[in-house]
């Protein structure tokens, strides 16, 4: 029992008892009358008041500040600081211990996981590029929705290849994600700067991958009329993306993903080519110099052949730091618009040059998103050429139809006319595949 002496202010009883004019037993922390009538007794407020008053002291404030700092540190370690949170979490409205989080988007999480553990290694043959696609590109994508959707689209396409029973399911996901990515992408194309150039660069690269993985139409060379979603307009695609990237090149070269450009000091490549390949290019030069299309066409074809020879040299003597995908796509972005016009007109000389370029494109046949493209293009060139022109594409046709290709040592082991073909062009093939000198004529 608490003595009256220890609580001098309690002699008059609690406020409720005085109001009712009844005797208060002054029991703490709640008098009997208040307890009986289930009323809050003012005696019960004294301890909290004491605590409240005590907490107002300087000592208590210092202690409270220390506890608050510790609590804030703990919360930061668990939830992260506001600056570290993603935009979606920073602006979310769910609060409190009993609040419910939004449902996790498991399908999208699966796609992102697949991209960072599998797909990122299939876009290039350079370890440096692997790390950039695995870590840096997703980090940039968290700040740019259009890039994240582009990443999810490519991941879904990859899974459609790896999981045939769910091919259509993942293909539809890829189409939806890509459509959304492109919609946002187009809206910023006129506002590109150093803040979004990295995301723009990454998505541009993924757009090329997506374009090649799109279905191939049976009657298209991939360079002519637009056929909607199933179009395989790969030449305009590569040239268009390259043209746009050139407009922001200074920012990209200094950006977070500049390593994808592998812009190292290049060693002068060896200029010598294997005899078999050199002979084929010389045959093409003779063909184009005697074209019936006129002097201007001779120059157009000749320039395209110079660039093609340079691409063969570069691929055949590729330094370790150079990406074979980038080298393979050099020729399409470097040829002139006049040469593209010749292709659009289906001029035989232009189509024959393109068929020889497919020997370089065949280098990428082990990439899941490039598989079958060289064969697809040459088969369509065959359909475009009259019979009198077909012997001009016999050599590239035989090279790219080899079934097995091993990129590690450049050897194509399958026999063609009892000999071996080398993917790095260092082994000769049967001499019957060469065009006899007496047949070097314009038909």
SS (H, E, C) 172-202: HHHHHHHHHHHHHHHHHHHHCCCCCHHHHHH
* Contacts of 272-279 spanning 24+ positions with Cβ under 8 A: 273/309, 273/312, 273/313, 273/316, 273/425, 274/316, 274/422, 274/425, 274/426, 274/427, 274/428, 275/428, 276/425, 276/428, 276/429, 276/434, 277/312, 277/316, 277/425, 279/434
CA distances from 133 to 156, 205, 312, 382 (A): 16, 11, 28, 38
**Can you tell me the distance from the alpha carbon of 365 to that of 348, in angstroms, rounded to the nearest whole number?**
25
Confidence of residue 216 (pLDDT cuts 50, 70, 90): low
Confidence of residue 132 (pLDDT cuts 50, 70, 90): very high
Q: What is the largest CA-CA distance in the chain?
A: 133
Confidence of residue 46 (pLDDT cuts 50, 70, 90): very low
Q: What is the pLDDT of residue 142?
A: 96
Q: What is the pLDDT of residue 400?
A: 87
Confidence of residue 64 (pLDDT cuts 50, 70, 90): very low
Structural domains for the chain: 4-43 (4.10.240.10), 107-259 (no CATH), 275-439 (no CATH)
Q: What is the mean pLDDT of the chain?
A: 74
Q: What does the block give as tokens for 115?
A: 């991209």
pLDDT digits (tens, 9 = 90+) for 404-413: 443 323 333 3
- pLDDT of 218 > 80? The answer is no
pLDDT digits (tens, 9 = 90+) for 282-294: 999 999 998 888 8
- pLDDT of 356 > 80? The answer is yes
58-72 b/e (C-beta count within 10 Å ≥ 16 → b): eeeeeeeeeeeeeee
**Lowest-confidence segment of 24-38, 87-101, 429-443 by average pLDDT:** 429-443
Rounded to 10 degrees, the C-alpha dihedral 64/70/73/78 comes to -110
What share of residues in the chain are helix, strand, coil (percent, to 5)? Answer: 65, 0, 35
């Amino acid at each position: 029992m608490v003595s009256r002496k220890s609580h001098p202010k309690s002699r008059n009883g609690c406020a409720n008892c005085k109001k009712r004019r009844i005797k208060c037993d002054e029991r703490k922390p709640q008098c009997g009358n208040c307890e009986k009538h289930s009323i809050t007794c003012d005696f019960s407020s004294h301890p909290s008041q004491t605590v409240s008053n005590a907490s107002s002291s300087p000592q208590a404030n210092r202690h409270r500040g220390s506890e608050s700092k510790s609590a804030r540190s703990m919360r930061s370690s668990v939830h992260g600081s506001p600056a570290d949170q993603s935009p979606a979490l920073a602006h979310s409205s769910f609060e409190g211990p009993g609040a419910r989080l939004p449902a996790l988007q498991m399908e999208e999480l699966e796609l992102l996981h697949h991209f960072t553990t599998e797909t990122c290694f299939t876009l290039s043959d350079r370890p440096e590029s692997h790390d950039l696609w695995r870590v840096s590109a997703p980090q940039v994508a968290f700040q740019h929705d259009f890039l994240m959707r582009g990443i999810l689209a490519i991941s879904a396409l990859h899974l459609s290849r790896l999981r045939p029973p769910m091919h259509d399911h993942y293909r539809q996901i890829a189409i939806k994600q890509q459509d959304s990515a492109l919609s946002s992408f187009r809206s910023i194309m006129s506002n590109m700067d150093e803040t979004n150039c990295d995301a723009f660069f990454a998505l541009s690269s993924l757009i090329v991958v997506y374009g090649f993985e799109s279905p191939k139409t049976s009657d298209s060379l991939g360079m002519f009329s637009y056929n909607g979603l199933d179009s395989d307009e790969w030449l305009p695609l590569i040239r268009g993306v390259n043209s746009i990237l050139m407009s922001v090149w200074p920012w990209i070269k200094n950006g977070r993903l500049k390593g994808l450009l592998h812009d190292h000091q290049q060693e002068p490549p060896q200029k010598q080519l294997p005899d078999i390949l050199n002979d084929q290019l010389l045959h093409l030069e003779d063909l184009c110099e005697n074209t019936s299309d006129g002097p201007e066409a001779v120059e157009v074809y000749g320039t395209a052949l110079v660039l093609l020879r340079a691409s063969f040299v570069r691929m055949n003597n590729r330094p370790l730091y150079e990406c074979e995908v980038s080298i393979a796509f050099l020729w399409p972005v470097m040829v002139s618009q006049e040469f593209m016009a010749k292709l659009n007109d289906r001029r035989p000389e232009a189509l024959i040059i393109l068929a020889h370029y497919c020997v370089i494109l065949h280098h990428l046949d082990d990439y899941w998103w490039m598989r079958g493209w060289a064969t697809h293009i040459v088969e369509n060139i065959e359909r475009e050429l009259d019979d009198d022109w077909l012997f001009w594409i016999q050599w590239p046709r035989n090279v790219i139809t080899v079934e097995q290709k091993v990129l590690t040592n450049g050897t194509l082991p399958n026999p063609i006319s009892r000999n071996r073909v080398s993917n790095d062009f260092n082994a000769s093939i049967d001499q019957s595949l060469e065009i006899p000198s007496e047949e070097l004529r314009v038909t």
